[in-house]
Every structure is written in C-alpha cells, then in structure tokens.
Structure 1
Amino acid sequence: MNKVMVIGVSAGVGKSTFARRLGELTGIEVTHLDRLFWKPNWVEASPEEFLAAQQQVVAQERWIMEGNYAGTVHIRELHVDTVIYLELPLRVCLYRVLKRRVQYHGQTRQDIGEGCKEKMDKAFLEFIVTTYGARKKTMMERMRRYAEEGKTVHYLKTQRQIQGFLDTYMKK
C-alpha cells in the first residue's frame, strides 16, 4: 500500500478523517483534493491548475489522496495500488455534514483550501440527497473494475469496519 485513493459515496462519509488517520498511522503524506481545488473564499482552481497539482502528487513514490472529483479520477487511477471506499447510510452522511457545519462555523477545516470558511446551503444538501443512490451504484461499478485491474480494494460499509481497518495499522 503505497499509492492510496480514499473515496466515498457522499460528503460526510468520513473520507478526510479516515485519510488523515491512515496517514498518521502509515507515515504516508495525505493530500486532500478539496485543498487543491478550492482557493481562498471558495474560488475554484482552473482545470489546468487542478490537474497539474494532482500530477505532482501521483509522481511521488507514496501518497494518500482523498476525495472523489470524478472528472479527474483518471489521473489517480493510473497510479493507485490501493482503493479504500467508504459507504455509510445517507442519514449518517447528512448528520455528519450538518454537524460539521455547526462544529466549524466561521472556521476553515484543515482539509479545505485556505480561507474557505465552513458553509452549507440548500443546494448542497439537495445534491447529497438526490445523487446518493446513483453515486452508490457508480462507485460499486468502479470498485469492481479496480479489482479486475488488480488493484487492492477495501469496501468499508460500517463504522466498525472503518475502525477495524485503522486498528490493523495501529498494531503494525
């Protein structure tokens, strides 16, 4: 496990927290795609900047990259040896998104671009709810393809499985 993608079914599933903890346990540097995509005050990076930033990461010998960003997944897929997919129920994801909004009100989380204060709007919540099922199906198809390509795939569907995975690295 040297080049790791941490992806998930939805915002709020725990990708950032999981990746950070895995990085601490393995000593592998973690890159949060949101930090590469969002410039201060929620300004999007240009497609060229976003691609170039990811290409710099995948050129390294070891990395953990966290985030979905399907439009640029091809960059990461070419290099990844391990894929960790998190899938928790929609209600859990929504609860965590709402909790995060309260917890980080007026602050910038460490996994988001600098100067991007925590925010949430109706459109974001609607996006989560209306795309959850389709994303779940798409991700399952993607996980099957990764396994067929010989990548190591970990499909973690419960908090117990997620913690159990991390616990295996605590013992090493």
Structure 2
Amino acid sequence: MKKIMIVGSAGAGKSTLARRLNEIIGIKLFHLDKLFWKPGWECISREELKEKIGSIITLDSWIIDGNYSSTMEMRLKEADTIIFLDFPLWLCLSGVIKRRFMYEGKTRPDITEGCKEKLDWEFIKWILTFPYKKRKTIHKKIKQYSEERNVFVFKNRKEVEEFISMVRKNSNV
C-alpha cells in the first residue's frame, strides 16, 4: 500500500482512518477538504483542485481522503489501494453530529484553518442523498479498477478496526 485512496460519505470517518494509516505506515497524508477550502469556507475552482491533485498523485506514495467526484477518476487511476467506507446513513449522520460537538467553534485538523466546524441544511442534505446519488456510482467506478488494485469496502467501524489491526500487524508497529 503506497497510494491509498479513501472515499465515503461525510461522517463515515475517512479523515480519521487516513490519519491512523498515516501514523502506522508513515505515508504522506492529503485531505481533499484541506486542499479545496480556503479560510471562511471559500472554495477553489475544480480546475485548481485537479491541478493540486495532479501534482500529488505523481508522488511515490500518498494517502488521499475525500470524495470530490470531479477528481475521483484521476485518483482511481493512480491508487494501488482503494478504501470505500460504505456505512449506513444513520452511522454517517451520527458521526457528523459527534464531530460538530467535538469541534464546535474550532477548525478540524483535516480542513483549512479558518473553516470553523458547522452543520447546515445543505450539508445534511448532501449526507442524506449520498446513499442514493453517490454510492452506486462509487461502487461502479471502484469495480472498474478492482482487478488491478487492493479494494476494501467496509460496512461498519468494526471492519475498519480489523483492517487497522491487520495493517499494524503487517507493518510491525
């Protein structure tokens, strides 16, 4: 595992998993939210995001967490490991609510400084529609690369913990 891509709904724990993998195997970590958002929740253009990701994916190793469908194909082509946190809606919503209270009035470590944690209707709508609008597309895209890549689809946090244990064991940490 040298080029690891992590996708899934908001609240599933993509950034947490990415940080944990980074701590175990020491591969440089890139959070797409940190690349996309400027302070005050201003976004960069999709073209600028593609340029940033284009330079990252040429590196020898990386962990990239986040969805951003406009750049998913770029990452899929270069990743050797694809992880999809395909969690139930209720688990993702509870993750977002927990995160909201945990970081209230603060900036999370996986996002640009100056983007204080918030929970608004637009974001909730995105989470609510994820299983219907994004899930099937992600599965379809991942399937196209499944023969040449390590693909892990986790349905719950217990499966993620088992994976982390396996990675820790195999890396002798």
Alignment correspondent of 1:83: 82
Runs of 5+ in structure 1 lacking a partner? none
* Counterpart amino acid of residue 81 in structure 2: T
> Which residue is 1:154 aligned to?
152
Report sequence identity in percent: 43
TM-score (norm 1): 0.94
TM-score (structure 2 length as normaliser): 0.93
The alignment of Structure 1 onto Structure 2 pairs a total of residues equal to: 170
Matched residue, 1:116 = 115
Q: Deviations over 1:125-144 (max 9, x none)?
A: 12211232332222221221
1:132 paired with 2:122, answer: no
| Structure-2 separation of matches of 1:33 and 1:131 | 17
* Residue identity opposite 1:100 in structure 2: R
| Superposition pairs of residues 1-172 of structure 1, within 5 angstroms | 1-8=1-8, 10-148=9-147, 150-171=148-169, 172=172
Task: Give the direction of change, closer, same or farther, for the CA distance of 1:152–1:23 in structure 2 (3 Å limit).
Answer: same
Q: Distance in 2 between matches of 1:138 and 1:117?
A: 30
Cα offsets for 1:73-103 (capped at 9, x unmatched): 1221221111011111100100111111111
Are 2:7 and 2:14, in contact at CA under 8 Å, matched by a contact in 1? yes
Contact 2:5 2:63 in 1 (8 A): yes
